[in-house]
Amino acid sequence: MKILLADKFNDAFEARLRELGEVSTSLEEIADVDVLVVRSKTKVTKDLIARARRLGLVIRGGVGLDNVDAAACRERGIQVRNTPAASSVAVAELAMTLMLAAANRVVFAHNEIASGRFPKKDVKRVELGGKTLGLIGAGLIGQAVAARAAAFGMKVIAYDPFVKRCEAASLVGSAADLYRAAAVLSLHAPLNDETRGMLGRAAIVSMKDGVIVVNTARGELVDEQAMAEALVSGKVRAYAADVFHSEPPSGSPLLSAPNTVFTPHVGASTAENMTRIGDIVVEILSNWGRAG
Ligand code: NAD
């Protein structure tokens, strides 16, 4: 079996793949491989698939499939798999990290001190305890965030049109209800036609003044221009994001906006999760190899 490992996982993973077949890492080889393994960077487009003469399986090590043209794969009879359950703890811990960093102005404080200042009066912190956290999306990651936020003493509410019961959060009937009530908002919905740009001007205006917004889902859920303006006006107290419209986000209006905390799309990238994802990909490949 010829495997094309198009994105970086970790060295141990590549060695494990070599036990299952011949591994290449260059997309130039796409014509002759049986399996394509990607994370987020490689876009599995219709054009790429058209160049793949033997491809039978695409595996995305990660949650969403928004970088894979699954319809084009189906048309060609190519199976598509991902690892939906692996990343919940890793992403939930990053969402909590960003939430705490935003509420406590940690990045600002660090940068000031590293520049030789000691701005005690400018580091105005707020507590998460006692605040209402609103989750958009109550799936695996949303629920993992809910459990952690509850341990911080937050009241957790969630909007999710497809979930009927949620143990760690009270479900509300609309996104508007969520925006009205939440002091902190955390995004955990997939990117699709419904969610693209859902945090635009109208949504932001309807939120509580001084809301903190955390985005570990997808950059395109948020109108970055509207968010930058809301940070300048103070409507939004802080925006903490792991994901952006384009990555790296060069030219994004968010880069010059105040009160931001950014990480470079590393929600799934813990050492433990890379091992977990690797285990699942190897299992998928082994079963597929046996079936083939
Ligand atoms: P999941 O499928 O378990 O949960 C997503 C939830 O969103 C579902 O319950 C679904 O019903 C809900 N949803 C769908 N449309 C909605 C809408 N219009 N409004 C509100 N909720 C809606 O997925 P998950 O594992 O919890 O992951 C959530 C998202 O996190 C993924 O789709 C992915 O984009 C993102 N993610 C980011 C990283 C990262 O590195 N930052 C890593 C993994 C996942």
What DSSP letter does each residue of 192-239 carry, written as one string? Answer: STTTTT-BSHHHHHTSPTTEEEEE-S-GGGB-HHHHHHHHHHTSEEEE
Q: Which CATH superfamily is domain 88-262 in?
A: NAD(P)-binding Rossmann-like Domain (3.40.50.720)
Tokens of 260: 């931001």
Give the position of tokens 């019961």: 165
* pLDDT at 291 (0 to 100): 74
User: Strands 170-171 and 22-24: what pairing?
Assistant: unpaired
- Nearest 5°: phi and psi at 199? -95, 75
* pLDDT at 190 (0 to 100): 95
* pLDDT at 105 (0 to 100): 97
Which among 76, 40, 84 has a CA at the least distance from the CA of 219? 40
* pLDDT at 292 (0 to 100): 65
Ligand 1: residue whose CA is nearest its atom 30: 217
pTM of the model: 0.94
Distance 141 CA to ligand 1 centre (A): 7
Question: Annotated active-site positions, please?
Answer: 218, 247, 265
Its CATH class, for the domain covering 2-83+270-291, is: alpha beta
Distance 188 CA to ligand 1 centre (A): 4
Check residue 190 and report its DSSP letter: P
Pocket test for ligand 1, best of 65, 93, 160 (most atoms within 8 A of CB): 160
Helix 271-291, helix 11-20: angle, nearest 10 = 10
Distance 84 CA to ligand 1 centre (A): 10
* pLDDT at 64 (0 to 100): 84
The segment(s) of the chain belonging to CATH 3.40.50.720 are 2-83+270-291, 88-262
Distance 244 CA to ligand 1 centre (A): 15
Which residues of the chain are modeled with pLDDT < 70?
292
User: How many Å is the Cα radius of gyration of the chain?
Assistant: 21
- Atom of ligand 1 at shortest range from CA of 144: 26
Distance 268 CA to ligand 1 centre (A): 13
* pLDDT at 227 (0 to 100): 98
Which among 244, 234, 168 has a CA at the least distance from the CA of 207? 234
Continuous segment of H or E residues that includes residue 59 = strand 57-60
Pocket test for ligand 1, best of 8, 68, 91 (most atoms within 8 A of CB): 91
| Contact 260 CB / ligand 1 (< 6 Å) | no
Ligand 1: residue whose CA is nearest its atom 16: 189
| Contact 63 CB / ligand 1 (< 6 Å) | yes
